[in-house]
């Protein structure tokens, strides 16, 4: 609008100048009008340029303002994004720690479980070894299916080998062997059985004992009047048989004779005796000569031990009296009483002491 008003003023000036043209020469008029018009247009042009510059400056200022506003906005947005990123990182760190803590807890629990299992395995192994050691050795059959098992010299028996985990049995007619398996404190079974195939019409109990071995699933160890017993049971925990043995395992080994019928023997002349119950053998030195013999244990008598078939050379020596007293006393022995592992007393049928033995180192 301001430009329009300026041009209108110029136009009026030209009209007035035209009227005055008659009173002046055209050249002067043209020169005057041209100068005036140039002055006006120049002024208008300068103002326009100033307005343009102002407009440009204003536009530049506004652009700069928009730039800085946008930059500030971007900066604010960046700060917001950075804060969100830090928050997400913190959450991620916590989330990352949680699996690690869970993994650590799981590892600790696994180690604790392994420790418990290891301890349980060791306990079971110790229990198994203890039971197996207890079973180790020879046991006699007392009864089978409620009936007494007969026999003295030819008594049916079963031998447990704790080292090989094998058993060897004689049922009065045939020999049976195989593996035995202990599970826990009361389970027992006989596996991989191998047997001879003799037929014994006069020993019907042999077939019953073979069936008893096959049917055994449980067992129970008991001690009664210094004798050990094993009760054998089937799958229904029903008792089907009984084994027993004398508690004389500690009698095995080498001994020195300390007394014969109450008479003390000096260590310089004391006889020695070696007892081997599993092999049913005895041997030693009488103080004069070497001697040998066999051992018999009556399965129906408690603490039974008998020395039989004693043999000794007939050579003479200065201690022949001690030799004679010892051999006669040994042939009268019917039972043995142990006083720990270091002392044993061999007695006659009435329990009278005959020979006192002490353990040698």
Transcribe 139-198 into DSSP letters: EEEEEETTEEPP-STT--EEEEETTTTEEEEE-SS-EEEEEEEEETTTEEEEEEEEE---
Tell me, yes or no, whether 166 lies in a domain.
Answer: yes
Q: Could you say which DSSP state residue 310 is in?
A: E
With respect to residue 125, please indicate whether it lies within any of the assigned structural domains.
no
- Long-range interactions of 307-311: CB distance < 8 A, separation 24+: 307/282, 307/331, 307/333
CATH number at residue 144: 2.40.128.270
Q: Are residues 109 and 148 in the same domain?
A: no
Residues 224, 297 within the same domain: no
Q: Which domain holds residue 159?
A: 136-246
Please indicate, yes or no, whether residues 4 and 49 belong to a single structural domain of this protein. Answer: yes
**Is the same domain home to 223 and 314?**
no
d(C-alpha 311, C-alpha 320), whole Å:
14
Instruction: Looking at the structure, tell me whether residues 57 and 76 fall in a common domain.
Output: yes
Domain ends where: 222, 246, 270? 246
Which of 7-16, 193-202, 280-289 shows the lowest per-residue confidence on average (mean pLDDT)? Answer: 7-16
Q: Give the mean model confidence (pLDDT) for residues 208-232.
A: 91
What is the distance between the alpha carbons of residues 343 and 93, in angstroms, rounded to a whole number? 75
Same domain, 193 and 240: yes
Q: What is the mean pLDDT of the chain?
A: 80
Rounded Cα distance between 306 and 349, Å, is: 10
* Residues 237 and 290: beta-carbon distance below 8 Å: no
pLDDT per residue over 247-279, tens digit each?
Answer: 888 899 999 999 999 999 999 999 999 999 888
Position 159 in a domain? yes
The pLDDT, as a whole number, for residue 232 is 97
The SS3 of residue 234 is coil
Give the separation between CA 132 and CA 122, rounded to whole angstroms: 15
Give the Cα separation of 41 and 43 in Å (integer). 5
Structural domain includes residue 130: no
In a domain, 32, yes or no: yes
Angstrom distance (rounded) from CA 52 to CA 140: 131
Residue 128 lies in a domain: no
Check whether residue 324 and residue 343 sit in a common domain. Answer: yes
**CB contact burial 92-107 (16+ within 10 A = b; e otherwise):** eeeeeeeeeeeeeeee
Distance CA 140, CA 158 (A): 6
Note the pLDDT of residue 348: 95
Same domain, 116 and 154: no
Name beta bridge partners: 242.
143, 231
Average the pLDDT over 138-158 and give the result. 88
Q: Are residues 183 and 241 in the same domain?
A: yes
Residues 216 and 297 in one domain: no
Identify the pLDDT of residue 46: 54
CB count in 10 Å sphere of residue 206: 21
Looking at the fold, whether 142 and 224 belong to one and the same domain comes out as yes
Neighbours of 249 (CB within 10 A): 14
Q: What's the structural domain count of the chain?
A: 3
Determine, yes or no, domain membership for 310. Answer: yes
Say what percent of the chain tops pLDDT 90: 46
Q: How would residue 29 be classed by pLDDT, with cut points 50, 70 and 90?
A: very low
- Residue ending a domain, among 246, 272, 297, is 246
- 289-299 burial, b if ≥16 CB within 10 A, otherwise e? bebebebebbb
* 185-194 LR contacts (CB < 8 Å, sep 24+): 185/127, 185/131, 186/218, 186/219, 186/220, 187/217, 187/218, 187/219, 188/216, 188/217, 188/218, 188/219, 188/232, 189/216, 189/217, 190/214, 190/216
Residue at a domain's end among 246, 276, 301:
246
Between 268 and 15, the higher pLDDT residue: 268
Q: Do both 236 and 269 map to the same domain?
A: no
pLDDT at 16: 58
> For position 19, what pLDDT does the model report?
46
Give the C-alpha separation, 166 to 135, whole Å: 11
Q: Return d(Cα 349, Cα 14) in angstroms, integer.
A: 173
Mean pLDDT along residues 18-28? 46
């Amino acid at each position: 609008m301001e430009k329009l008003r300026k041009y209108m003023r110029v136009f009026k000036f030209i009209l007035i100048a035209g009227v005055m043209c008659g009173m002046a020469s055209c050249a002067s008029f043209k020169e005057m009008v041209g100068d005036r018009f140039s002055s006006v247009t120049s002024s208008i042009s300068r103002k326009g340029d100033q307005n343009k510059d102002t407009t440009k400056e204003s536009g530049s200022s506004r652009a700069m303002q928009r730039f800085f506003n946008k930059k500030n906005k971007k900066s604010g947005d960046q700060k917001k994004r950075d804060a969100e990123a830090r928050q997400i990182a913190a959450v991620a760190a916590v989330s990352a720690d949680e699996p690690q803590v869970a993994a650590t807890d799981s590892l600790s629990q696994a180690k604790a479980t392994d420790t418990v299992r290891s301890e349980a395995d060791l306990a079971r192994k110790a229990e198994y070894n203890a039971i197996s050691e207890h079973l180790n050795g020879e046991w006699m059959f007392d009864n089978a299916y409620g009936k007494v098992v007969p026999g003295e010299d030819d008594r049916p028996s079963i031998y447990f080998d704790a080292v090989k985990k094998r058993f060897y049995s004689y049922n009065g007619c045939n020999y049976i062997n195989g593996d035995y398996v202990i599970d826990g404190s009361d389970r027992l079974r006989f596996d991989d059985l191998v047997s001879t195939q003799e037929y014994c019409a006069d020993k019907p109990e042999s077939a019953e004992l073979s069936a008893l071995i096959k049917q055994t699933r449980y067992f129970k160890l008991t001690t009664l009047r210094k004798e050990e017993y094993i009760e054998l049971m089937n799958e229904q925990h029903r008792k089907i048989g009984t084994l027993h043995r004398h508690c004389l395992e500690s009698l095995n080994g080498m001994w020195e004779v300390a007394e014969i019928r109450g008479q003390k023997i000096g260590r310089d002349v004391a006889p020695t005796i070696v007892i081997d119950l599993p092999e049913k053998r005895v041997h030693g030195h009488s103080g004069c000569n070497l001697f040998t013999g066999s051992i018999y244990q009556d399965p129906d008598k408690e603490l039974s031990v008998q020395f039989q078939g004693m043999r000794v050379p007939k050579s003479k020596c200065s201690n022949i009296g001690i030799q004679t007293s010892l051999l006669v006393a040994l042939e009268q022995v019917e039972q043995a009483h142990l006083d720990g592992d270091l002392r044993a007393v061999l007695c006659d049928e009435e329990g009278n002491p005959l020979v006192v033995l002490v353990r040698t180192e």
